[in-house]
């Protein structure tokens, strides 16, 4: 019966029938012990669950509808008995942080309260074991237990192993104990008191905590040495020794001297029981995940296992090497048995694996090739024969389920379907493959050097004779100076270079010319590109020269675009980072230029091209010459007057000499610098000069000092 319950409209026939059952159960409490069955599979609201529990138990339950909200999903085969419905309500409420308490010891009504407030909300009851195991009982209470024969203080110390120190305290001036806790803890406490509170002269109570031995093993060994009973009242032994409810302690009741001897024996026996190492085969779930599960369930300080086990994963064999106490090994075997009971079809799962640094298709192709070679099952081959196998999931000769790989290219991820053990190996391999590759800053220097030198030395003579109006001229001309239009003689100082002129107008003239030309040129092309390791970088800087194409027929000729010819700089480099930060370069460098005009519009212009390609290893951060070409030429030329120019000494006056020499050199240099900094500080440093020259902000925040007073 909710307090402040809002008005709700019954939305389905199922709730109407449930309400009818509740009314009938309240009217006739005996229905709680009837053969009535309830199907609660699916989602059920918490208030409706509490109402149904109250109906089947025949006990009023008060709750705040505004606080008790939400729904629970029940997965069952249906046909729950009233007792199962009651226990299900207890479990769901406890999971949501609620408890059922009795606020008045004389009123059977129960109230739903917060578990944190249950200790102050519950009344003090005098109850027995049956009061917490029957339908309609509270899930949390405070009870007074009458101790008739044993000492209340010592009995309270023994009960504290069940409910803790805060939940138990002796009542002053009485031989009673006040115990507060959940229903299961109270049942354990009542059973423990029933075993301790037996008639015995000068009996004391001792609690022996164990770290390696199980309580059953320690009790059996102690009974073989001492006259001890297992706690049954009919025994004639002077003392009783039985396992405590917490699973890691023994409780002894009897004479103090005998209990002291038993305690010394158990302590020595427990210390001598050293931890042992066992090898386990985790089965289909994968060694790493099973190790994490064991570590979570058997944490350090867990009372049931003592010290937390030490679990090592053998990645070569896929097994677990566990060093722990016998209690912990027993718990591990139980965990593995539970995992083995899961149906094979339920074990297979889907896992999404993000690929961050490489093309997802490339990674998937590598994984699929390895799957065809069976690498996911390699860990179970060899070295596992001695491993503990709680159960065999598959019979011998049955093929292991395959791993299915699907590529989600848009999200750059791989979807894998298989057993967790297989998926762990696939994910571990992808993590190893999908590493961020270092980047390489490549700087290519293409240098062209041209040197030329030429010398010219010549003599021109002219003699004019005039006889009876006839002008006769004798000359040796080599084009060193222009001819005077008036008299056909050389002009004064008309030539290039050093010139000496001797003139006797109308009679004789001579010109001596000497010239030397020296030229030096340098051309530098400096492309720069950033590329990932093992990726190809291409840089093209070319000029395209188009040409025409003519198609002629008997009647018409058609001219159209025939294509284009390229000339310029083309660089292709693929770096591979080797050991010691050496870099293996596979490069191709091409430098071309047009050398003149096209002889025909339908033909591309003539082009000169220099190229080189190779594979070499260079050190990180150094500028290295990777190739080059050198062209040299020498030429000597002589122009002379026939016969006269061949006369020794005098013949020099009738000659013109020239000499030329040239040298062209082309070098290709590459500097590669590996950038490994994960925060890209090295790349920021290399970019600083270019950013400053371009007057572009790098976008990074600026840090300025500030004085704080």
SS3 track for 310-374: EEEEECCCCEEEEEECHHHHHHHHHHHHHHHCCCHHHHCEEEEEECCCCCHHHHHHHHHHHHHCC
- In whole angstroms, give the CA distance from residue 123 to residue 113: 13
Distance of CA 389 to the CA centre of its chain: 32
So what's the architecture of 204-273 in CATH? Answer: 2-Layer Sandwich (3.30)
Residues of the chain with CATH 3.30.1370.120: 204-273, 276-342, 349-435
Q: What is the pLDDT of residue 60?
A: 92
State pTM to two decimals: 0.45
- At residue 23, the pLDDT reads 42
Q: Is the per-residue pLDDT at 676 higher than 70? A: yes
Q: Exposed e or buried b for every residue in 569-608, given b needs 16+ CB within 10 A?
A: bbbebbbebeeeeebebebebbbbebeeeeeeeeebeeee
Q: Which residue has the tokens 């030309």?
A: 517
**Could you tell me how far CA 340 lies from the centroid of its own chain?**
29
Q: What is the C-alpha to C-alpha distance for residues 82 and 53, in angstroms, rounded to an integer?
A: 8
Report whether 660 contacts 438 (CB < 8 A). Answer: no
List of residues 6+ apart from 27 with CB closer than 8 A: none
CA 470 to CA 489: how far, in whole Å? 16
∠ Cα 553 558 561 (to 5°): 135
CA 584, CA 154: separation in Å to the nearest integer?
80
Count the neighbouring beta carbons within 10 Å of the beta carbon of residue 130. Answer: 10
Across residues 369-374, what is the average pLDDT? 82
Residue 112's CB: how many other CB atoms inside 10 A? Answer: 23
Task: Find where tokens 């300080």 sit.
Answer: 301
Give the mean pLDDT of the chain.
78
Per residue in 466-505, pLDDT (tens digit) is 666 676 666 766 666 665 544 555 554 555 666 666 666 5
For the chain, residues classed under CATH 3.55.50.30 are 42-197
> Distance between CA 291 and CA 321 in Å, rounded?
10
Q: How far is 115 from 87, CA to CA, in rounded Å?
A: 17
Say if CB 591 and CB 609 are below 8 A apart: yes
**Topology annotation, domain 42-197:** Phage tail protein beta-alpha-beta fold (3.55.50)
Whether the Cβ atoms of residue 283 and residue 318 lie closer than 8 Å to each other: no
Contacts of 183 (CB under 8 A, 6+ apart): 90, 132, 133, 137, 138, 139, 140, 141
Whether 69 and 98 have beta carbons less than 8 Å apart is answered as: no
Check pLDDT > 80 for residue 371: yes
Contact 253, 240 (CB under 8 A): yes
More confident residue, 688 or 552: 688
Top mean-pLDDT range of 142-146, 298-302, 645-649: 142-146
Contact residues for 72 (Cβ-Cβ < 8 A; gap 6+): 43, 44, 46, 49, 92, 96
Band of pLDDT at residue 432, cut at 50, 70 and 90: confident
What span, in angstroms and rounded, lies between the C-alpha atoms of 110 and 141?
A: 11
Sheet containing strand 249-254, strands side by side: 204-209, 249-254, 239-243, 228-229
Top CATH class, 276-342: alpha beta
More confident residue, 273 or 229: 229
pLDDT for the residue 579: 80
Question: Does the structural domain 349-435 have CATH classification 3.40.50.720?
Answer: no
238 vs 92, more confident: 92
pLDDT > 70 in the chain, percent? 80
């Amino acid at each position: 019966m909710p307090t402040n319950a809002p008005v709700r409209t019954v939305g389905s026939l199922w709730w109407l029938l449930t309400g009818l059952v509740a009314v009938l159960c309240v009217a006739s409490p005996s229905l709680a012990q009837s053969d009535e069955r309830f199907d609660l599979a699916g989602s059920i609201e918490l208030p409706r669950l509490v109402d149904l529990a109250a109906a089947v138990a025949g006990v009023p339950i008060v709750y705040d509808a505004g606080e008790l909200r939400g729904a629970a999903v029940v997965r069952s085969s249906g046909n729950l008995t009233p007792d199962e419905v009651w226990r299900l309500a207890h479990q769901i409420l406890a999971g949501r942080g609620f408890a059922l308490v009795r606020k008045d010891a004389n009123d059977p009504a129960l109230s739903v309260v917060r578990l944190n407030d249950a200790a102050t909300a519950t009344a003090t009851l005098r109850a027995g074991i049956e009061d917490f195991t029957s339908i309609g009982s509270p899930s949390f209470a405070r009870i007074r237990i009458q101790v008739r024969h044993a000492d209340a203080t010592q009995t309270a110390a023994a009960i504290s192993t069940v409910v803790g120190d805060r939940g138990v305290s002796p009542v002053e001036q009485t031989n009673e104990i006040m115990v507060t806790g959940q229903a299961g803890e109270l049942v354990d406490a009542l059973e423990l008191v029933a075993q301790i509170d037996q008639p015995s002269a000068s009996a004391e109570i001792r609690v022996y905590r164990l770290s390696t031995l199980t309580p059953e093993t320690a009790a059996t060994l102690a009974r073989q040495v001492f006259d001890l009973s297992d706690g049954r009242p009919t025994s004639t032994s002077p003392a009783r020794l039985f396992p405590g409810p917490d699973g890691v302690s023994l409780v002894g009741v009897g004479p103090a001297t005998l209990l002291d001897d038993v305690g010394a024996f158990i302590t020595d026996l427990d210390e001598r029981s050293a931890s042992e190492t066992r090898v386990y085969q985790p089965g289909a779930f994968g060694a790493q995940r099973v190790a994490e599960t064991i570590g979570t369930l058997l944490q350090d300080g867990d009372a049931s296992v003592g010290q937390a086990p030490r679990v090592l994963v053998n990645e070569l064999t896929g097994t677990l090497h566990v060093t722990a106490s016998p209690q912990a090994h027993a718990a591990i075997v139980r965990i593995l048995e539970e995992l083995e009971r899961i149906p094979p079809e339920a074990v297979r799962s889907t896992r999404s694996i993000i690929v961050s640094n490489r093309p997802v298709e490339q990674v998937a192709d590598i994984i699929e090739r390895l799957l065809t070679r069976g690498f996911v099952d390699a860990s179970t081959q060899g070295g596992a024969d001695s491993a503990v196998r709680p159960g065999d999931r598959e019979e011998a000769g049955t093929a292991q389920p395959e791993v299915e790989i699907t590529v989600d290219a848009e999200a750059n991820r791989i979807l894998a379907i298989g057993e967790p053990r297989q998926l762990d190996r696939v994910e571990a391999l992808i993590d190893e493959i999908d590493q961020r590759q270092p980047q390489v800053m490549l700087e290519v220097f293409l240098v062209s050097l041209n040197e030329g030198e030429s010398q010219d030395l010549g003599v021109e003579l002219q003699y004019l004779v005039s006889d009876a109006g006839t002008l006769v001229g004798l000359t040796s001309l080599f084009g060193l100076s222009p001819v005077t239009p008036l008299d056909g003689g050389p002009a004064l100082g008309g030539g290039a270079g050093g010139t000496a002129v001797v003139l006797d107008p109308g009679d004789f003239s001579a010109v001596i010319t000497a010239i030397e030309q020296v030229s030096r040129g340098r051309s530098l092309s400096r492309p720069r590109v950033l590329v990932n390791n093992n990726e190809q970088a291409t840089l093209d800087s070319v000029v395209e020269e188009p040409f025409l194409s003519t198609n002629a027929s008997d009647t018409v000729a058609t001219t159209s675009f025939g294509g284009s010819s390229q000339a310029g700089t083309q660089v292709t480099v693929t770096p591979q980072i080797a050991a010691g930060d050496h870099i293996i370069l596979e490069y191709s460098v091409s430098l071309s230029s047009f050398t003149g005009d096209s002889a025909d519009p339908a033909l591309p212009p003539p082009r000169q091209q220099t190229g080189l390609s190779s594979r070499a290893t260079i050190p990180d951060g150094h500028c290295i010459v990777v190739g080059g070409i050198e062209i040299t030429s020498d030429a000597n030329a002589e122009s002379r007057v026939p016969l006269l120019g061949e006369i020794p000494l005098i013949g020099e006056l009738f000659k013109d000499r020239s000499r030329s020499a040239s040298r062209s050199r082309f070098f290709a240099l590459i500097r590669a610098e590996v950038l490994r900094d994960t925060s890209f500080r090295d790349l920021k440093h290399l970019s600083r000069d270019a950013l400053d020259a371009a007057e572009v902000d790098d976008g990074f925040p600026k840090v300025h000092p500030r004085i704080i007073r």
